[in-house]
A and B are shown apart, each in its own frame.
Chain A
Amino acid sequence: MNDFLNSKIFGIKWSRLLTSCQQSLYMVGWGLLIGTFFGLILALVLVLTRKDGVVQGKAARILYAVVNVYVNVIRSVPFVILLVTIMPLTRLIMGTTIGSTAALVPLVLYISPYLARLLENSLLECSPGIIEAAQAMGANTRQIIRYFLMPETLGSMVLALTTGAIGLLGASAMAGYVGGGGVGDLTLTYGYEKMNTPLMILTVVILVIFVQLIQFLGGALSRKLRAHR
């Protein structure tokens, strides 16, 4: 096994390649998990407090405006720039600005507003009639989310998250700038900078496989969830 790991492929060790894949999966996996948590909260705020939403009133209007602007602002900053500008924040949270874990901070910050917009679209697919029926039954806001809004739009939300995961994979390629590693970093530092074209092609193929895999899994899960619609 060690022999294999130490053997080389296109000028790098197999172990180096596998580590990079692992780092990519680590960043996309955790980034998606934590990003979905925050993204869903933002999306629910946007959907519930919007005009004609379930929650009305002055506080709701203000909350909507704040979240809406926040999402737009973060979404307008390219990831590479976000990555370097929030380094102090990253240090504050993680204690370091280097490595895959440190890269998670900008990744989550970047992806959650993106997911928020995608999930907002999904949640809006729930027909207003269903929400009205829920209200007529005496459901409170929490129950509306849990028993109506979420179950009705789950299939669509999974597709949104699939798109988000692929966006995250793209962003993680730039994590190399802060020593985050990953397949994208490998492509840039070993493939591009050292003009190792075969390695570059190999890594691109790996990225393509990743994307295909994510899309396939997301599609299959979404289909299962929508089976009886």
Chain B
Amino acid sequence: MIRIEHATKTFRGKKTEVHALRDVSIHVRKGEIYGIVGFSGAGKSTLIRLVNRLETPDEGTVEVSGQRLDSLKGKTLSALRRKIGMVFQQFNLLEGKTVYHNVAIPLILEHRSPAEIEKRVTEVLEFVELSDKRNAYVSQLSGGQKQRVGIARALATSPEILLCDEATSALDPQTTESILKLLKRVNQEMGITILLITHQMQVIQMICDRVAVMEQGRVVEEGTVLEVFGQPKEDVTKRFVRTVINDQVPETFYDTIRAENRHYRLEQLKFIGDSVNEPVIANLCRRAGLEVNIIGANISQMQGSMMSVFILQLIGDTDTIGEAERYIDASGALRQRLFIDWDSRTITEIPAGKGNEG
């Protein structure tokens, strides 16, 4: 549906050069919700704008529905843009106009008949649940309502693709959730492919099928949401995952752990989807000579699947713990040995100076 290959873009100022994109390739399949996550300045905005040619790459190619965009101008470019809706962080609506007028504008630009416009606007307003606000002025609406108008406007021309530029970043958490549900409906009920950029991992978790992580103009990691959340490889990805899935030990437990004078190890266990079919933790508890402390747990839902993260303190002698580790690995759960850096009181995956085996 959308294929970007080796896109490079550099913005040159008088004295500065900003490498917004460095050899970026992504492929968005028809009917999916594809999310690009990154901190500000990672190049997400530039990347999403390649798709409707608000930006052009210095090098590389962009293909939408099998059509190369390189040579598009004037009427053919307008035609392409009408097949692609776009939703913005700051809504970008005509504040002094009515909801109806704002949604009608893309249709007016296409010279549709008033009867057609009336029919289509009524339809999309109903879809975004704003029928009662059709004659209200945009300035009278709340942020969430404004974004619904923005989505309705983007849907008016029945596009095949919807681009969302930080569509929920200006909204409070509750409103964010309702807008995300709406986007999911757009995807499922209208079959529209969605490409979104965000710095909120929660957005990716809630609605995306696949995700790309961007840092300094590069895509550093890509995969299905379960893959990326379950086994993040890059540091930046781990930081993002940590914003929604808490895999840290609660502060108050540090002293308890430190006070333990028997031999122990800290282990992180991840269960993704139905990859594990046995009660691993329960079985661990039944092992002779092994004591299990659950010191952190987090269960989250994504893509209709579950992911649970547990942090366990296994107490016992080296052999018993070794056997337990082999049992966990054989069960299909993802295991990661953890260490505590006592100076900064944080958990790491690499031993910090002195090991912390009790």
Contacts and interface: CB of A to CB of B under 8 A. Distances in A.
Interface in A116-163: 127, 129-130, 132-133, 135-140, 143, 147-148, 151-152, 155
Given A132-B54, A229-B139, A137 B92 contact: no
A129 B86 CA distance: 12
Given A137-B81, A143-B109, A228 B86 contact: no
A137 B106 contact: yes
A226 interface: yes
B54 A138 contact: no
Interface string B135-158: 001111000000000000100010
B92 A152 contact: no
Contacts of B106: 137-138
B52 interface: yes
Contacts of A151: 94, 96-97
A130 B92 contact: yes
B77 interface: yes
B86 A136 contact: yes
A133 B109 contact: no
B306 interface: no
Contacts of A139: 78, 109
B95 interface: yes
A125 to B, nearest CB: 12
Contacts of A133: 86, 88, 92-93
A148 B106 CA distance: 11
A123 to B, nearest CB: 15
A135 B92 contact: no
Contact of A138 (B77, B90, B95): B77
B341 to A, nearest CB: 44
Contacts of A129: 88, 90, 92
Contacts of A140: 74, 78
Interface string A208-229: 0000000000000000011111
Contacts of B84: 136
A227 B97 CA distance: 10
A143 B82 CA distance: 14
Interface string B237-272: 000000000000000000000000000000000000
B81 A138 contact: yes
Contact of A135 (B81, B95, B157): B81
A147 B109 contact: yes
Contacts of B96: 151-152, 155, 225-229
A117 to B, nearest CB: 24
B299 interface: no
A152 B77 CA distance: 25
Nearest to A136: B86
B37 to A, nearest CB: 22
Given A136-B54, A138-B82, A140-B78, A127 B92 contact: yes
B293 to A, nearest CB: 52
B281 interface: no
Given A136-B84, A151-B97, A228 B108 contact: no
Contacts of B90: 127, 129
A135 B56 CA distance: 14
B190 interface: no
B60 to A, nearest CB: 20
A151 B86 CA distance: 21
Contacts of B182: none
A137 B94 contact: no
A136 B49 CA distance: 9
A137 B81 CA distance: 6
Contacts of B54: 132, 135-136
B285 interface: no
B105 interface: yes
Nearest to A143: B109
Given A129-B88, A228-B137, A138 B79 contact: yes
B101 to A, nearest CB: 9
A225 B78 CA distance: 30
Interface in B84-123: 84, 86, 88, 90, 92-97, 105-106, 108-109
B196 to A, nearest CB: 15
Interface string A179-223: 000000000000000000000000000000000000000000000
B108 A136 contact: no
Given A136-B86, A138-B81, 14 more contacts: A127-B92, A136-B84, A137-B82, A137-B105, A137-B106, A137-B109, A137-B157, A138-B77, A138-B78, A138-B109, A143-B109, A147-B108, A226-B96, A229-B95
Interface of B: 52, 54, 74, 77-82, 84, 86, 88, 90, 92-97, 105-106, 108-109, 137-140, 153, 157, 163
23 contacts: A127-B90, A129-B90, A130-B92, A132-B54, A132-B88, A133-B88, A133-B92, A136-B54, A136-B81, A136-B84, A136-B86, A137-B106, A138-B106, A139-B78, A148-B94, A151-B97, A152-B94, A152-B96, A155-B96, A226-B96, A227-B96, A228-B138, A229-B96
Q: 6 closest pairs, A vs B, by CB?
A: A138-B81, A138-B78, A228-B137, A133-B92, A129-B92, A136-B86
